Chain A
Amino acid sequence: MRDPVALLEQMLRIPSHSGQEHHVAAFLVEQMRAAGLDAHVDGAGNAVGEIGQGPTVVLLGHIDTVSGVVPVRIEAGKLYGRGAVDAKGPFATFVCAAARLAQAGDVPFRLVLIGAVEEEAATSKGAHFVVDRYAPIACVIGEPSGWERLTLGYKGRLLLDARWQQPMAHSAGREQAVAERAVGFWNNVAAHCATYNADKSRLFDQLLPSLRTISSGSDGLADWAALMIGVRLPPEIDPALLAAQLGPLADGAALRFHDGCPAYQGEKNTPLARAMLKAVRGAGGTPGFLLKTGTSDMNVVGPAWRCPILAYGPGDSSLDHTPDEHVEIAEYERAIDVLVQALRNLGDTL
């Protein structure tokens, strides 16, 4: 890839909200082919590129973004645009690193790049499509960690919709208002999590609830109230277990639990982590490990592949989904250098 900045800038100029990734996928296939990879769009709409032979190493990023237009521009060494951090920047890093290895004729294994669709949707369609199609010996997930740091794990998640309905009653009557039942349930959920968290100092080990939507109304005969709650899960709490614990707290609501996924944490003493640590130090950095409060495609493929896995990519994740989303160009270029060297280091261990 002769110009990494031009590649990422062009990716940012192609809108790709979840479910609408086909244009950017086609662009990436074209770019990966030009770099010497065999590339295609797979049955889920993922942009897939491959090069090399031998055991498989997967670089799995995502090419969809959340909604919201961030004007694409370069200012003071920063490239702005929706997805610059989450996560077109990390996937562009993958493409540029693979291109550099391809150009050098120096791909020590079968390297598979997957630009997955619908990571920002709870469906994780792209990752679910590939999870049974590959059995890699190592995997790097493309998410922002900063060029010096390696993300080892992500919390799990459970979403729930709750709805209450009851005959309309006068507000001066003795009946509890339906909206009060909804608020009572939220308070119960928050208290349940606070009790669980009481002796846990790390966010990664806590239950983190959020009230995402709340609404209520009446048709003149019946009153209703509805909530949507999300809970971020620690490794010890499976989605099904939490659902069983929260159900009895719902005061008769109709409940629907959905899009649950368990937390996942990779090992830090693996050939992949060593290769990355060595590459970061070799570039003059001070490596660090991270555990994240969110979820990523690691939650989908990690439990199935059970191979050395971590997430890596340039960018400050506090800029994810914000109107100020941007990546420092110098950091992006440094991350490419680190990944190239890390893949070479990993190849040396095979």
Chain B
Amino acid sequence: MDAICPECEATVPLLEGTVEGEIITCPDCAAELEVVSINPPELALAPEVGEDWGE
């Protein structure tokens, strides 16, 4: 099963056992990607890590 990288449009293979919410790396552009859907396979850029004051 393959999906398309939203950053570089490379074909990204989804390994068996991949689950929704999993964060993977695009083999072409190295972008961190979140698996937002398995069926149909769909990737989004993974959430960025921001900073916040507090607590």
Pairwise interchain contact A290-B50, C-beta atoms closer than 8 A: yes
Partner of B34, one of A143, A277, A292, A345: A277
SS class of chain B's interface: helix, strand, loop or mixed? Answer: loop
Distance, CA A294 to CA B55, complexed state (A): 5
Neighbouring A residues of B22 by C-beta, 8 Å: 269, 274
Pairwise interchain contact A292-B21, C-beta atoms closer than 8 A: no
Least Cβ distance of A311 to chain B in Å? 8
Pick out which of these stretches binds chain B: A7-15, A31-39, A127-135, A281-289. A281-289
Pairwise interchain contact B52-A317, C-beta atoms closer than 8 A: yes
**Residue in chain A with minimal CB distance to B22:** A274
Interface assignment of B23: CB less than 8 Å from any CB of chain A: yes
Distance, CA A312 to CA B21, complexed state (A): 17
Interface assignment of B20: CB less than 8 Å from any CB of chain A: yes
Neighbouring B residues of A171 by C-beta, 8 Å: none
**Residue in chain A with minimal CB distance to B54:** A317
In residues 275-305 of chain A, which contact B (Cβ within 8 Å)?
A: 275-278, 281, 286-296
Distance, CA A204 to CA B36, complexed state (A): 28
Q: Which of B19, B20, B21, B50 has the most CB of A within 10 A?
A: B21
The size class of the interface chain B forms with chain A is 10 to 19
> Per-residue CB proximity of B33-55 to A under 8 Å, as 1/0?
01010000000001111111111
Pairwise interchain contact A288-B54, C-beta atoms closer than 8 A: no
Pairwise interchain contact A320-B55, C-beta atoms closer than 8 A: yes
**Residue in chain B with minimal CB distance to A278:** B21
Also in contact, A290 and B52, with CB within 8 A (given A277-B34, A277-B47, A281-B36): yes
Interface assignment of A349: CB less than 8 Å from any CB of chain B: yes
Neighbouring B residues of A286 by C-beta, 8 Å: 47
Count of inter-chain pairs, beta carbons less than 8 A: 75
Pairwise interchain contact B47-A287, C-beta atoms closer than 8 A: yes
Neighbouring B residues of A343 by C-beta, 8 Å: none
Partner of B20, one of A274, A287, A296: A274
**Residue in chain B with minimal CB distance to A268:** B23
Distance, CA A349 to CA B54, complexed state (A): 32
Least Cβ distance of B6 to chain A in Å? 14
Least Cβ distance of A140 to chain B in Å? 15
> Per-residue CB proximity of A198-212 to B under 8 Å, as 1/0?
000011100000000
Pairwise interchain contact B47-A274, C-beta atoms closer than 8 A: no
Also in contact, A291 and B54, with CB within 8 A (given A269-B23, A273-B21, A275-B21): no
Pairwise interchain contact B20-A292, C-beta atoms closer than 8 A: no
In residues 106-165 of chain A, which contact B (Cβ within 8 Å)?
A: 143-145, 149-152, 154
Least Cβ distance of B22 to chain A in Å? 6
Write 28 A-B pairs (CB below 8 A) sorted by A numbering.
A86-B54, A143-B55, A145-B52, A154-B55, A203-B51, A268-B23, A268-B49, A274-B19, A274-B22, A278-B20, A278-B21, A281-B36, A286-B47, A287-B47, A288-B50, A289-B48, A289-B49, A289-B50, A291-B51, A291-B52, A292-B51, A293-B53, A294-B53, A294-B55, A295-B55, A317-B55, A345-B21, A349-B19
- 19 additional contacts (CB under 8 A) given A268-B46, A288-B50, A289-B50: A143-B55, A151-B52, A268-B23, A269-B22, A276-B21, A277-B21, A278-B21, A287-B47, A288-B49, A289-B49, A290-B50, A291-B49, A291-B50, A291-B51, A293-B53, A294-B53, A295-B55, A317-B52, A345-B21
8 A-B pairs closest in CB distance:
A274-B21, A317-B54, A294-B55, A277-B21, A289-B49, A278-B21, A288-B47, A269-B23
B interface residues, Cβ below 8 angstroms from A? 19-23, 34, 36, 46-55
